[in-house]
Structure 1
Amino acid sequence: MHDEVVRNGKAAPARSSRMPRDQRRLQLLDVAGRVFAERGYHNAAMDDIAEAAGVSKPVLYQHFPSKLDLYLALVDRACEEIVEIVREAIAGSSSNADRVEAALGSFYQFVAQSGRSFRFVFESDLTGDATVQARIWKVHQDLAEAIGQTIAQDTGVAPARARLLGISLVGLAQVGARYWVGSLRDEMTAEEASQLIATLAWRGMRSFPLI
């Protein structure tokens, strides 16, 4: 980074040195994610994000034409992350009980390890926006589909019923994980919490045929 510049007797934030466009975009997303998570969408300004990133506003707008575009990019990144985590968790075991535990545990992994990015999927303060709402609904459907396909294959349950079971498990997992990270993180580990909820879910799932 360049040295700080003194303006009006105060040290102005140093501007970031030049970096490749893709790397700059990732850096801006990381900084914006922190600012949005701390202040919320409506209270965060592009000026705040540019200053925190050490870039000028024109540089920020070169990558993201508006604050909404920047926020949507963060939503998309968080959505892709949770879907990939869940799919990998399901594919990592052939045991049905282990699959249930892994699928539910992946939500706890996400909220524990993704910093505050889980809020863009599960606690967005911009759900009134139709574009954001559509993205969040789609990720819930994608998760329900991934889990539902496994349920259908392992139980013989009809696809529509499997999707309903899948979306119900998504709801169970994400609400529990959010509560854990906000209220119980000091009392139990993510693994302990997810195993507890997996036990609850498995006692219901194992009653279906072929499980």
Structure 2
Amino acid sequence: MTSTPHRVQRLPRAQRRAQLLQAAQAVFVRKGYHAAAMEDIADEAGVSKPVLYQHFPGKLELYLALLESECDRLESLVLEALDSTDDHKERVYATIAAFFEFVGDKGEAFRLVFESDLTGDSRVRHRIDALEAQLGDAISHRIAQDTGLPKSFSDLLGVTLAGMSQVSARAWLAHSATIPQADAALAAGHLAWRGLSSYPSQATLRGAAGTEAGEGGAADGGDGGA
């Protein structure tokens, strides 16, 4: 009796591409870029190497596609957090929580962004640098709006908050079995807010100015009636 050769299930192109990217992510996270082979990724996906090469001409193109996807995802999370509230304090906490959400996702895809072993490649370095610049600019823009600080100070604080957020989120992983993600993000938020709260928000300044104006008006009115 002859056995029928195993045939790979045909999938729509977009669905197959997503499957291959998921397999590549698992292999890259587990082995690192340099130790991973296209054959490993094909095996992980349950396809032949020719099928893999139909979608991606090489390992680097696979890695770059994954990196692009993860950078876009983190940027979306941070931008959504920045736009989620008009309250300065809540915005700080939400921004930090976004980094923890990204790092805490199953699959540890964040390692492709923050712990890549391929930063010597100019395309990888350029994409990571662009992400860091975009996040820093977005956060600093909100800090400038909320505090009225000059752009140079806001830029510095924006980069600092982004860096602190991703480092603290990655450090939390070592304690994730004992510290819930939400509690860890809240603790990092407390630390960040203690610093940023020393710069009064524009809303606070407007409120103070209004109070002073009201007190001055009352005093003037009292003097006029005397």
Shared fold (TM-score greater than 0.5)? yes
2:168 is matched with 176
Q: Is 1:188 the equivalent of 2:183? A: no
CA contact (8 A) 1:16 1:53 kept: no
SS in 2 for 1:48: helix
Deviations 1:144-188 (A, max 9, x none): 11111111111111223212211111110101111111x110121
2:195 is matched with 204
- Identify if the C-alpha distance between structure 1 residues 29 and 95 changes in structure 2 by more than 3 Å, giving closer, same or farther: same
1:162 is matched with 154
Q: Is 1:131 the equivalent of 2:123? A: yes
CA contact (8 A) 1:143 1:170 kept: yes
SS in 1 for 2:8: coil
Q: Which runs of 5+ in 2 are unaligned?
A: 203-226
1:29 is matched with 21
The 2-side partners of 1:158 and 1:203 are apart by 20
Return the offset for 1:40: 0.7
Amino acid at match of 2:201: L
1:151 is matched with 143
**1:106-145 residue pairs with structure 2 within 5 A?**
106-145=98-137
The 2-side partners of 1:116 and 1:192 are apart by 20
CA contact (8 A) 2:165 2:188 kept: yes
The 2-side partners of 1:92 and 1:138 are apart by 23
TM-score (norm 1): 0.90
SS in 2 for 1:55: coil
1:10 is matched with none
SS in 2 for 1:207: coil
Return the offset for 1:35: 0.6
Return the offset for 1:114: 4.6
The 2-side partners of 1:55 and 1:20 are apart by 14
- Identify if the C-alpha distance between structure 1 residues 155 and 81 changes in structure 2 by more than 3 Å, giving closer, same or farther: same
CA contact (8 A) 2:119 2:125 kept: yes
Please tell me whether Structure 1 or Structure 2 has the larger radius of gyration of its CA atoms.
2
Return the offset for 1:109: 0.8
The 2-side partners of 1:46 and 1:66 are apart by 8
TM-align CA RMSD? 1.6
SS in 1 for 2:118: coil
The 1-side partners of 2:148 and 2:7 are apart by 59
TM-score (norm 2): 0.84
CA contact (8 A) 2:20 2:45 kept: yes
2:220 is matched with none
Deviations 1:41-97 (A, max 9, x none): 111100111121122212211211110010011111110011001111111111111
Return the offset for 1:4: 8.6
